[in-house]
Amino acid sequence: AAEIVMTVEGVGGSVWHRCGSGYSANDVLDLLRDHFGLPAAAPRSEILNHLRTHRRLIVFDNGESLAAGSDERRQYVQLIEELAAHNALVLITSRVEWNEIRPPRRKHMPEQLLPEDAARVVLEMANAYGLKTDLTAHADAIARAARRHPRLIEWAVRLMEHSLMDDVIADFEQLQ
């Protein structure tokens, strides 16, 4: 997601939503209200219209947790299509494809990031996951150990929620 925000012209940031039990498509609207500083009562139409002039990447993480054909997934599909129609970029991270999303759509396989971008992704992931440890001084080492790959960086940051940073770095440096 970070590489998309940094490389696609006109994208002014991102909003990250984790799909799964306890979450709904409406939670994405709440995140967008907060992101844009809109009132809590701002209607869906106002949020969507705001995207026309404030382009964002909206990330739907853990997409495989929504069963194909379920009402919950249909609500997400409807919102995703509305977001795309209002100039948002949408990224679904999932181990399964969402074939019900209408074209145009593309598969994106992340590649190794530049060193400075990888370090920034470490810090953004730590922030996104609410990690209490400040990784600023270690972001380069973490990114290097994770091969500057976005998914490995995410995995390393997630492991640091319950493991010592030095242990995680050492384990990732030994990966083959």
Phi/psi-derived region of residue 174, left when phi > 0, alpha when psi is between -120 and 50, beta in every other case: alpha
In terms of pLDDT, which residue wins out, 50 or 94?
A: 50
Does 126 score more than 90 pLDDT? no
pLDDT for position 99: 84
Planar angle of CA 14, 147, 136, nearest 5 degrees: 60
Rounded Cα distance, 110 and 3, in Å: 8
Rounded Cα distance, 41 and 39, in Å: 5
pLDDT for position 143: 94
pLDDT digits (tens, 9 = 90+) for 68-78: 889 999 999 99
pLDDT for position 106: 65
E strands present in 1-76:
14-18, 57-61
Q: CA torsion angle for 115, 117, 119, 124 (degrees, to 10)?
A: -170
Residue 127 carries which DSSP code? Answer: H
Q: Which residues of 27-47 are buried (b: 16+ CB within 10 A; e: fewer)?
A: ebbeebbebbeeeeebeeeeb
Rounded Cα distance, 90 and 14, in Å: 10
Question: Kind and range of the H or E element at 89?
Answer: strand 89-92
The model's pTM is 0.62
Does 145 score more than 90 pLDDT? yes
Rounded Cα distance, 117 and 146, in Å: 13
Three-state secondary-structure class, residue 15? strand
